[in-house]
Amino acid sequence: MVKVMLAVITLAFSLTCGQTLANDDIILTIDGQIAGGAPVNLRRADLEAIGNATITTTTPWHDGVVTFEGVPLTRLMEKIGAHGKIAFVVALNEYVTEIPLSDFSEHGAILALKKDGRYMEVADKGPLFVIYPYDDKPELKSEIYFSRSAWQVRTITIE
Ligand SMILES: Nc1nc2c(c(=O)[nH]1)N[C@H]1C(S)=C(S)[C@@H](COP(=O)(O)O)O[C@H]1N2
Ligand SMILES: [Mo]
């Protein structure tokens, strides 16, 4: 708990002071209905070891076509043994969105770490951004999926 609080304070500090993240910072906590029951804390390298996929697309938040790289959310859910129906995704700015786990396999959403080959800093909507392949299907270019596209993701609770 103290570790999680420290990580949140560090990230909040990065947010306000425009600092870059260190590679060994915990950037994501997953809790709730997962294997073992205890919260899991992950660093960049932990996420990269789980899987990697790219999505090249336009988004409402960037100019032109952008390439995102990150862990496929299906792989992440398998790895942590998620056994619920919904992911409550909470961002550093306390934005919360509910994503049905079925979205991950149906639409191939990723938890992006990099944009155009570089890690996204907090000031650049990083360190983690839920990204869908918006250009692949017209339905993905809609308020539903845009609202599920949380940036500055910090915690995912499975229920
Ligand atoms: N971290 C974070 N992610 C977020 C939001 C937010 O406020 N914070 N807003 C969401 C909502 S409701 C929408 S529709 C889209 C688009 O937000 P924008 O129109 O403010 O760019 O981003 C989503 N992701
Ligand atoms: Mo929205």
DSSP 74-108: HHHHHHHT--SSEEEEEETT--EEEEETHHHHHH-
Q: What is the mean pLDDT of the chain?
A: 92
74 Cβ contact list (under 8 Å, min separation 6)? 104, 105, 108
Is the beta carbon of 89 within 6 A of some atom in ligand 1?
A: no
How many Å lie between the centroid of ligand 2 and the Cα of residue 143?
6
Question: How confident is the model over 6-26, as a mean pLDDT?
Answer: 64
pLDDT at residue 123 in the model: 96
Longest Cα separation, the chain: 44
15 has pLDDT over 60:
no
Q: Which residue has the higher pLDDT, 12 or 81?
A: 81
Ligand number, closest to the Cα atom of 155: 1
pLDDT at residue 22 in the model: 77
Q: What is the CATH number of the domain that holds 149?
A: 3.90.420.10
Domain that holds residue 152: 2-158
Q: Which residues pair with 26 in a beta bridge?
A: 43
Number of folded domains that form the chain: 1
pLDDT at residue 56 in the model: 98
Please state, in angstroms and rounded to a whole number, the distance separating the CA atoms of residues 153 and 62: 18
Q: What is the pTM of this model?
A: 0.90
Residue with token string 């995704």: 89
Ligand number, closest to the Cα atom of 60: 1
Q: Which residue has the higher pLDDT, 2 or 60?
A: 60
pLDDT at residue 102 in the model: 98
Is residue 66 within 8 A of residue 134, CB to CB? The reply is: no
Q: Which residues pair with 34 in a beta bridge?
A: none
Q: Which residue has the higher pLDDT, 23 or 70?
A: 70
At 111, is the secondary structure helix, strand, or coil? strand
How many Å lie between the centroid of ligand 1 and the Cα of residue 92?
12
Is the beta carbon of 15 within 6 A of some atom in ligand 1?
A: no
Q: Hey, what amino acid is at 25? A: D
pLDDT above 90: percentage of residues in the chain: 85
pLDDT at residue 17 in the model: 47
